[in-house]
Chains A and B, each alone.
Chain A
């Protein structure tokens, strides 16, 4: 029987996932030989955004560095659920020191590698928002200021989740936490507080800063890979919903992350040397309520009565992000393809 050529119109597109793409366009996760840096058996909650984000990010960095990676982890959910004594889920060289010093310890590792002539091995420092935004801020800023050769990844679930959901400097306004309860005339976290660490990182004018979420795997992998094109201090801020702390359904983790982006509450962008170089556009901005309704930490904004005043303030901050980052503009940034050459020496930095 003669062969009939069948045309697959989806070939070369993402529509069929990775299977029909050329190898070099497939996601890291699609590879059977991916590093699986954070392998199974860890104790994360069902639907944990951080476990997902860490695996995605580090597998991408492992591919970019051809496996030559050392990771330094701050105390927090990721560290605790990944290394319940006597087991570890990490398939890479991994060090946990303290809560507030992950950036400094990572700096030490990088300095040692340089002193020993092993600049081919790259270093990632990572922690949750608590260890990054609050107690780790001095060390983080020091690392940025010295331009130490470390990629720091912050997994932002917007509170101290490991210790029982206490407020951090990354907790958004009006969100309920154990230390910002939904009570009184201004329930939840206070408006007018909080730090925007990606902007702080940009103020240090470090080579590369980017934000990402677990809703867009490819974007996250791209940014982790792109970060390894640079040498010097780099910062990646990943939004990772926490079903337990946010009061969202474990099945909704990726959906909630997507709504955070599409409502403009979490702008997704890249910056180099302190200037925004690309921002992911929103095709259709969704009202913040679509995002807020899915999380019990905002339940007090809807019951017993809808707090339209508070919601309006949250909407205003989202709209501010739209104008600040040009999220609704019709621009198609020329995205630099990562070179996958992350182990090269930092000449001409």
Chain B
């Protein structure tokens, strides 16, 4: 049923239809509306599940681990600092092979504390062994949760569904909320691969030494490779059942004959598409490749979308996270994919553009200007979109001038306030 609905609410209603049995969460902006809505449903008897108000995100993931191990479908949600706080348990869930599904309402990581959107939180866990899916719209955010439970349980691998905090969670837009019958047809009850059962006892979580650790980790690696087949299958089945495209590995847009392609994740893709259309109107053959599944990284799909005929001359990877000391996060995976794909060494000039950190809006105008610079061959290999160079330089000068220069974040804020 079509609804004009807040993203968080759409996710809550969809997750509820996935029949979770244990919901455990600790509040953190901007995920709160999701778990509040689920809590209300449970309290009103609309959703038959155990809803636990836990004392920390570490406890939330731990409760989910216990629940899944006992054979129940578990769900939690977090962001930013909360994701970091549960990091030990995040790795633990993947290592144990428990199909927890978690929403990450992408938010920047402090310090400095920042409640707005970027991808640094999910990126910090990219090697934890979880499948990572990034939603472009609230429709996709809702749909990905349905697919997530199925993918996770099919492979016994946890899945995090990433949706941009505030930009998606707090935006009201048109979403088709499925019917319970549709969800039930797509998502069967949880059938655990391993379960704590007094009638058939097993020990789960043994210590594994050098003689077997590599093999256990290899199995996890193999599992991730199979995900690359499972996800397109789930996408196809979803399309058949629900009548729309959602999920999958990558989403190319006007890339077929493009000589400039932007690669990006998440809700910024919408604004990027608008910019691409404008460029096309100006005669620039531009396109955009959205990456929906970031882990496992769909190297082959990326290569296929970028074409193998060396027509592609420029690639701009638009990143909403930063790897200090290294540059971009997604860029590294894209480079590796291109280097190892079929067709020999490729030539596109790759530029990393860091944008939207800590919730700074990514505007169509800025994107146009940046892409126009790229077409002129003047975009540096690494740059920050909309960086206030003067503001940054003022603080750098201060740091060079005196040892006791004070806290940088506060200095910059004061400089900014002093301007207005």
Contacts and interface: CB of A to CB of B under 8 A. Distances in A.
Contacts of A55: none
Interface in A72-129: 72-73, 79-80, 83-86, 88, 90-98, 100-101, 104-116, 121
Contact of B198 (A92, A95, A107, A138): A92
B207 interface: yes
Nearest to A99: B88
B406 to A, nearest CB: 34
Contact of B59 (A80, A95, A101): A101
A117 to B, nearest CB: 10
B72 A115 contact: yes
Contacts of A79: 205, 207
Q: How large is the interface on B (under 10, 10 to 19, 20 to 34, 35 or more residues)?
A: 35 or more
Nearest to B56: A138
B207 A80 contact: yes
B45 interface: no
A104 B207 contact: no
Interface stretch (A12-20, A141-149, A300-308): A141-149
Contact of A112 (B22, B202, B208): B22
Interface string B82-112: 0000001100100010000000000000000
The 10 closest A-B pairs by CB, nearest first: A108-B66, A96-B205, A142-B55, A112-B72, A104-B62, A101-B62, A108-B63, A105-B66, A112-B70, A115-B21
B334 interface: no
Interface in B43-74: 48-50, 52-56, 58-59, 62-72, 74
B212 interface: yes
Given A86-B212, A94-B205, A148-B52, 18 more contacts: A85-B207, A85-B208, A85-B212, A93-B200, A94-B201, A96-B203, A96-B206, A98-B62, A98-B92, A100-B58, A108-B66, A109-B67, A109-B70, A115-B22, A115-B48, A115-B49, A139-B55, A139-B56
Contacts of B50: 111-112, 114-115
B265 interface: no
A84 B208 CA distance: 7
Contacts, number: 160
B201 A108 contact: no
B64 A96 contact: no
A42 to B, nearest CB: 12
18 contacts: A67-B198, A69-B198, A70-B196, A72-B66, A79-B207, A86-B212, A93-B200, A93-B202, A95-B205, A104-B59, A105-B65, A108-B22, A108-B24, A108-B64, A109-B70, A115-B67, A138-B55, A142-B59
B65 A85 contact: no
Contacts of B201: 90-94
Contacts of B65: 97, 101, 105, 108
A219 B68 CA distance: 35
Q: How large is the interface on A (under 10, 10 to 19, 20 to 34, 35 or more residues)?
A: 35 or more
Contact of B62 (A84, A88, A105): A105
A267 to B, nearest CB: 28
Interface string A154-189: 000000000000000000000000000000000000
A109 B207 contact: no
B62 A141 contact: no
